[in-house]
């Protein structure tokens, strides 16, 4: 019998800023942003170009966010503290948290310095316990918190990991999609940014719903072989689009295909074997 897919997405909370707070605990509770190329300073004192790499949750309460210009951030929260990025340290701590997660659940797909996918399919019935064990292992190894979302595929797992931040654990079952996923804006789908979200909102035809009109079904058919919800967004769906569709068609198809994966029709995908996972090489250095 096929094992239902249980894919976890682990995302470190405000990662760069959290690493800095380990070294500068006196800054806890203070709005803190990482960016620029100078030493410790208040945003009000900073002059020059640059953008925020990440911001603590205290800074986000003032509207500061990743990618925002430092000039704009200074206008919104001049009292925020600014620190330059230290990528050597972030990479060192990244190796630590990934090694800690791998000791609990070794089937991992590395997705970046602060996030990984974890295949928990073999832990069916013990998924919550496994996720809690991973969170505890990460905290013990690094002193940092992470948020984990567990769902039947990578797309949903990544969305789920953002729902209860910081230090969250979200188990997303197919029966919960209508309540937790469909009301979300299109920009919560990985790969649909603010500009694409604005275009989709202007079209006024895309909702996270299992119901499609004739136009939607025709567009999905036009995609030609990429409509199978078992494949999942990100599982080799878009490599075929660039040479066959216009930019606008790709924009629309991206949303349609993604939202199809969020529909109740997704139940057909629950027994498809996970792809893209491997066991991390061991041993992984704990020092760097």
The set of catalytic residues is: 115
Instruction: Please choose, from the candidates 29, 13, 263, 7, the residue with its C-alpha nearest in 3D space to the C-alpha of residue 162.
Output: 13
The 10 Å Cβ neighbour count of residue 76 is 15
Spatial separation of the C-alpha atoms in residues 55 and 35, rounded to whole Å: 9
Residue whose tokens read 């529909």 = 263
CA-to-CA dists, residue 115 to 8, 25, 110, 236, angstroms: 10, 24, 7, 20
CB burial readout 96-109, b (16+ within 10 A) else e: bbbbbbbebbebbb
CB 164 within 8 A of CB 146: no
Structure token digits, residue 175: 């029966």
Structure token digits, residue 50: 């640059």
């Amino acid at each position: 019998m096929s094992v239902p897919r249980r894919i976890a997405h682990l995302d470190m909370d405000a990662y760069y800023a959290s690493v800095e707070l380990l070294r500068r605990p006196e800054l806890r509770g203070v709005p803190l942003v990482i960016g620029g190329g100078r030493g410790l300073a208040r945003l009000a004192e900073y002059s020059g170009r640059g953008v925020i790499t990440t911001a603590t949750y205290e800074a986000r309460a003032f509207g500061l966010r990743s990618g925002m210009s430092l000039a704009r951030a200074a206008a919104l929260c001049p009292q925020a503290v600014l620190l330059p990025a230290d990528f050597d340290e972030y990479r060192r701590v990244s190796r630590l948290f990934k090694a800690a997660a791998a000791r609990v659940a070794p089937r991992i797909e590395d997705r970046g310095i602060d996030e990984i996918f974890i295949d928990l399919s073999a832990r069916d019935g013990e998924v919550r316990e496994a996720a809690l064990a991973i969170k505890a292992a990460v905290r013990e190894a690094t002193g940092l918190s992470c948020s984990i979302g567990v769902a039947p595929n990578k797309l949903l797992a990544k969305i789920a990991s953002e729902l209860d931040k910081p230090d969250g654990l979200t188990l997303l079952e197919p029966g919960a999609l209508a309540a937790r996923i469909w009301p979300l804006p299109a920009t919560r789908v990985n790969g649909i940014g603010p500009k694409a979200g604005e275009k989709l909102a202007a079209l006024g035809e895309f909702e996270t719903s299992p119901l499609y009109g004739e136009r939607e079904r025709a567009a999905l058919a036009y995609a030609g072989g990429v409509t199978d919800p078992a494949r999942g967004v990100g599982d080799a769906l878009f490599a075929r689009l660039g040479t066959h569709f216009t930019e606008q068609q790709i924009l629309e198809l991206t949303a349609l295909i993604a939202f199809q994966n969020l529909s109740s029709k997704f139940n057909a995908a629950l027994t498809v074997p996970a792809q893209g996972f491997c066991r991390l090489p061991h041993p992984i250095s704990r020092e760097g």
